[in-house]
Structure formats: structure tokens, C-alpha cells
Amino acid sequence: MLDWLWIIVFLSAILVEVVTLGQMVSIWFAIGAAGALLVQWMGGEFVLQMFTFIGVSVLAMLAVRPLAAAYLRGNVVSTNVDRFIGQQVHLSKGISEDNWGEIKFNGLIYAAISVDNRAIETGELVEIVAIEGAKLIVRKIDSIER
């Protein structure tokens, strides 16, 4: 039965990967099973096969996942709103812990929240640091930074 163990694990992991439509769920285990199968064919003990399976699976996940994630995320479309990041503007409505503020930018009004949940008063100079959904995330520009 041990002769077939790594082949079964390999094929099962590939099957799960195919069923999940390439979401990079189990491919690591298929790579690990292939490594363990190679150790088995070279006459390695079962404990060495297990360590190989675990080690190769973890290494495959650490090495390949960031590259695969970037490749699979390739359909992200940049919008013209991305150019707002880094811009400095004045708040047209202050931000409190309980309420969003507002920024008038390029003739449009956007909801704004503070990056650190600090209150920022109307008229204060802020920098747009990120965009989350329909909200601009801002941080207050201290007078030293101006």
C-alpha cells in the first residue's frame, strides 16, 4: 500500500486543484507528494518521505504562492482615482470617530476617513494615502511637514 500512497496523494491534490478551478489550494501538496515519491523510489524510509512531503510542500507554498497570486491577480484594472493617492487637500467636512468627513477634489465630493481613526477638523490639510471602496483614507499633515 505504501507504494501507492504518494501517487494517491499527488492525484488527489491535483484533482482538488482542478475542482477548485486553479485557486492555488492544493498544488503545494501535489509538489510535496512528488518529492516524497521520489524519496520513496530512491529507497528512503517512510519518516524521511513524510519530512520531504511536509518540507517540499511548505517550500513550494512560500516560493510559488506570491508569484502565482500576482499572476492570477493580473486582471486588476487601474482607475484614474489611483492618481489621488499622495495628493494633499483640505477637508471640506471634518472627520470624527463616529462620522466620515468629506473632501472636495477635482470638483467632486468624496467620503474620507482617517487612517489612524483620529478626529481631523474641517479645513485641515490631509494627504490621501489609500482608497477603500468609495472612501478616501487620509492622514493629517502636521505643520512641520508642510
Which domains occur in the chain, in start order? 2-72 (no CATH), 80-140 (2.40.50.140)
> What was the pLDDT predicted at 30?
93
Other Cβ atoms closer than 10 A to 114? 20
Half-sphere exposure of 72 (CA within 13 A, CB side): 11
pLDDT at 142 over 70: yes
Q: Which residue from 127, 116, 114, 124 is spatially nearest to 85, judged by alpha carbons? A: 127
State pLDDT tens for residues 58-108. 999 888 777 766 666 655 556 666 778 888 999 999 998 888 999 988 788
> What was the pLDDT predicted at 34?
95
Which residue type occupies 120?
A: I
> What was the pLDDT predicted at 144?
60
Instruction: Return d(Cα 88, Cα 70) in angstroms, integer.
Output: 30
